[in-house]
Amino acid sequence: MPHRRLLSSAAALVLVLATAAPSIAQTPMDDPLDARDARRLDKMEKVVRELRAIVYQGRDSGKPVVVQPAETDFQIQELTRRVNDLEQVITRLNGQLETTSHDLDEARRALQASQAQEQSLTDRVTALEQRLAPPADDGGGEADGGQAAAATNASPGEAFSEARQLMLNGDYDAAERAWSAFVHAYGDTDKGPEGQYWYGKTLSARGAHADAATAYIGAVRGWPKTSWAPDATVELARELVALKKGPQACQALDQFSKRYPKAPSNVRSRAAATAAQAKCG
């Protein structure tokens, strides 16, 4: 067999070299070897040792001799493997990037839809406020003007405290006039929305549902993050139910759930009861 012939040839070569080596060593040489010849001799001895190891391995084991690939081939194989790994990583990252881009597009569309819905609701609230606004008359205008003039004699804080105290005293008629004057005089100040809220409370007490709803709309415009805003939203829904405007009441309650999820339990209970009255789905 070729394998056995290779082993026999290698063995013969080893035996020849082994036999000749002493003779070469005993032969006197006139000149020493130069450096290049010494290197060549070292390489030959290395080859002999490798051949001897191959011969002994085949003789002792009786199995085919496995010759390892050259170092360069091994490095090429290793680099090929690494390149394949990098290609798989790049493919996976491209897939993740496409998924992230799709999710971002979906989130952007959802945000635009939410903004459009909020703008639509704001427009509806504005239109409702305009429909609920009471018609102005000369007598009422003069009275409101007198109340506003009286309110300007005090600072916003003082006018707010005086109107609030009238409510605490149970004098709702005087409180209603005081809050009306406050809203006309200081409605555009920081305390203006809260003044609208308390003004709506006095109007609700005497059953002026349309005027109360208008006041509450002014209070919750912009959905402020204040302690009284959740109650003002529920009160607006209650007044809309009283005015037989169930769909608008349900819209207000829907915003209540979204804007004020941590509202006090008693306010959430009244919101649930109002939703049942309005037959919200």
pLDDT at 130 (0 to 100): 53
Shared-domain flag, residues 152 and 260: yes
Give the whole-angstrom CA distance, residue 113 versus residue 223: 19
Residues with Cβ within 8 Å of 230's Cβ and at least 6 positions away in sequence, in order, are 256, 259, 260, 263, 264, 267
Task: Output the pLDDT for position 19.
Answer: 52
Based on the fold, state whether residues 45 and 172 are members of the same structural domain.
no
Cβ-Cβ contacts under 8 Å for 166 (sequence gap 6 or more): 172, 174, 175, 178
pLDDT score for 79:
79
Q: Could you tell me if 137 and 269 lie in one domain?
A: yes
The total domain count for the chain is 2
**Domain co-membership, 135 together with 274:** yes
Of residues 228, 216, 210, the one with CA closest to residue 179 = 216
Q: Indicate whether 23 and 142 sit together in one domain.
A: no
Residue 144 has a pLDDT of 45
User: What is the pLDDT, as a whole number, of residue 67?
Assistant: 53
Q: Is residue 87 domain-resident?
A: no
Residue 126 lies in a domain: no
Q: Are residues 135 and 271 in the same domain?
A: yes
Question: Which parts of the chain register pLDDT below 50?
Answer: 3, 6-7, 10, 14, 16-17, 20-25, 27, 30, 70, 134-152
Predicted pLDDT at 9: 52
**47, part of any domain:** yes
pLDDT at 142: 40
- Measuring CA to CA, which residue among 2, 1, 8 is closest to residue 54? 8
**The predicted structure's pLDDT at residue 120:** 61
Backbone angles phi, psi at 140, to 5 degrees: -65, -35
Q: Residue 6: give the domain boundaries.
A: 2-27+37-61
CB 247 within 8 Å of CB 279: no
125 closest CA partner among 206, 233, 203, 198: 233
- Coil, helix or strand at residue 212: helix
Question: What pLDDT is stored for residue 64 in this prediction?
Answer: 62
pLDDT at residue number 139: 43
The answer to whether residue 97 is domain-embedded is no
34: left (phi over 0), alpha (psi -120 to 50) or beta: beta
For residue 110, being part of any structural domain is answered with no
165, 179 Cβ separation under 8 angstroms? no
User: Within a 10 A sphere around the Cβ of 133, how many other Cβ atoms?
Assistant: 12
> Whole-model pTM?
0.50
Exposure string of 226-262, with b = 16+ CB inside 10 Å and e = fewer, is eebbbbbbbbbbbbbbbbebbebbbbbbebbeeebee
In a domain? residue 123? no
What pLDDT is recorded for position 127? 56
136 and 272 in a common domain:
yes
Residue 271: closest CA among 246, 253, 258, 245: 253
CATH number at residue 198: 1.25.40.10
Query: How high is the pLDDT of residue 17?
Result: 47
User: What's the pLDDT score for residue 233?
Assistant: 95
Q: Is residue 153 part of a domain?
A: yes
Q: Tell me the backbone φ, ψ of residue 279, rounded to 5 degrees.
A: 60, 50
Q: Are 205 and 173 in contact (CB under 8 A)?
A: no
Residue 189 lies in a domain: yes
Residues 149 and 265 in one domain: yes
Q: Are 54 and 65 in contact (CB under 8 A)?
A: yes
